[in-house]
């Protein structure tokens, strides 16, 4: 079940793939640190090739495609064998394409109206983005009243100092973050530091 898989992942590292080799090395460091999932965003030309390579090299890792913003991109990630995709927002066309596609999808929302539109297409697990800018924990608590069955993966502005507070909320399944995959770490091949940050993120303390 998707909710159980994401709950086990705790933190979904949001990765921008510079090239295939460095993304595979990054994913390996994250897995060594105990992480069970990774989100590779479709923000660079290397993204799809990196997704395919990470899935092949690390079959135990749940590899999600992020920043899937159009029906065409849904089709592309399905062709690449992706089983989970996320978006920062949603349109009716994107929601319909994702609902019809053979993959799990977590659409992005930023308001009650967005949530209702996602629910109308059958989605109950949503990505709140940008979470901290939108009100963070306060907004998630407020949304729990009118939407008791909706679960969230808040992303945007989360960091080592606040992500555990988000995870403690009853309507939060997991959260997204990029502090353990910062460009300064990846560009310099600081895999041991990435592994350490991943391990810390997976720790309950």
Which one is catalytic: 5, 31, 32, 39?
Answer: 39
Which one is catalytic: 31, 73, 127, 151?
Answer: 127
Q: Which strands make up the sheet holding 175-177, listed edge to edge? A: 104-106, 84-86, 62-66, 37-41, 11-16, 175-177
- DSSP label at residue 155: B
Query: How does DSSP assign 92-140, residue by residue?
Result: HHHHHHHHHSSSEEE-EE-SHHHHHHHHHTT--EEEETTHHHHTHHHHH
39 carries an active-site annotation: yes
72 carries an active-site annotation: no
Three-state DSSP at 78 gives helix
Q: Which residues are catalytic?
A: 39, 127
């Amino acid at each position: 079940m998707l909710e159980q898989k994401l709950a086990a992942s705790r933190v979904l590292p949001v990765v921008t793939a510079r090239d295939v080799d460095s993304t595979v090395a990054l994913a390996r460091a994250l897995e060594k640190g105990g992480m069970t999932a990774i989100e590779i965003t479709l923000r660079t030309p290397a993204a799809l090739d990196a997704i395919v390579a990470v899935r092949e090299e690390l079959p135990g890792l749940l590899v999600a495609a992020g920043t899937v913003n159009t029906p065409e991109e849904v089709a592309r990630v399905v062709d690449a064998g992706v089983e989970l995709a996320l978006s920062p927002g949603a349109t009716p066309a994107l929601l319909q394409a994702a609902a019809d596609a053979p993959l799990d999808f977590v659409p992005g929302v930023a308001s009650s109206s967005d949530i209702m539109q996602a629910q109308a297409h059958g989605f109950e697990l949503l990505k709140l983005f940008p979470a901290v800018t939108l009100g963070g924990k306060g907004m998630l608590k407020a949304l729990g009243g009118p939407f008791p069955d909706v679960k969230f993966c808040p992303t945007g502005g989360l960091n080592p100092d606040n992500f555990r507070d988000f995870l403690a909320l009853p309507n939060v399944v997991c959260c997204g973050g990029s502090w353990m995959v910062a460009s300064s770490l990846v560009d310099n091949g600081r895999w041991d530091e990435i592994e350490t940050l991943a391990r810390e993120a997976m720790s309950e303390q």
